[in-house]
Amino acid sequence: MHSAKVATGEDAGFAGYATFPPVVNEAKIEGYLHEMSNIEHSRDIGRPFDLQGEHYVVFGDTFCKNKAGDFVGVANNTVAHVPLPAYPCLTNYLEYEENEMVKLFVPLTEDEKEFEKQPGGCRVCLWMFGGVVEMGMGLVASGTTRALTEIMPWNMLVSWATSVDLFVRPEGGD
């Protein structure tokens, strides 16, 4: 454990010690995310963000289920709307594919779609660890990790990842 002196301003003087790694003294669980459609998708890496006054959560992976509750596949980089700010755990996916998979926030390129068709469980993942930030007429998905994952013949998982900043302009934007 490391500590350092912390001051709150130029003339504030000594204000105490900061500790690394941070120590959580108390945590209050506000609840668990619940999908308005009552389809309980399992999700990970949830990061909240605001866009044009609306609240959303972007996820790393969403383990999609159909209306009957059956698993239909994994979608990465999905976004759910939080329509009622007073109930931040209540979310709503706005778009689904024809196969009942949740639609990706940042779509795959044609080359990435072809990569996923390769035998052996190949997968492209866009995980937005840095979150999403609104900037003018577009979005910045900051710190996005674009990973190509392949299961090798000897059942070893191999990933190639690069971290990029994506700029996404809304349809019809200049």
Q: How does DSSP classify residue 35?
A: E
> Of 161, 170, 100, which is closest to residue 132 (Cα–Cα)?
170
What is the rounded distance in angstroms from the CA atom of residue 15 to the CA atom of residue 8? 7
Please report whether residue 12 resides in a domain. yes
Please report whether residue 174 resides in a domain. no
Please report whether residue 28 resides in a domain. yes
Look up residue 156 and give its amino acid.
M
**Boundaries of domain holding 65:** 2-168
pLDDT at 115: 84
Please report whether residue 155 resides in a domain. yes
Q: pLDDT tens digits for the chain (174 residues)?
A: 544 554 455 555 555 677 777 778 888 887 888 888 888 889 988 888 888 888 999 998 999 999 999 999 999 889 999 999 888 889 999 899 999 999 998 888 888 888 888 887 778 888 887 777 776 656 555 555 666 554 444 444 444 444 554 544 555 544
Please report whether residue 54 resides in a domain. yes
Please report whether residue 173 resides in a domain. no
Please report whether residue 147 resides in a domain. yes
pLDDT at 49: 86
Q: Residue 153 in contact with residue 120, Cβ under 8 Å?
A: yes
Number of domains in the chain: 1
Q: Residue 114 in contact with residue 125, Cβ under 8 Å?
A: no
What is the rounded distance in angstroms from the CA atom of residue 49 to the CA atom of residue 53? 10
> Of 150, 151, 152, which is closest to residue 161 (Cα–Cα)?
150
pLDDT at 161: 46
What pTM does this model have? 0.68
Please report whether residue 103 resides in a domain. yes
pLDDT at 14: 58
What is the rounded distance in angstroms from the CA atom of residue 53 to the CA atom of residue 38? 25
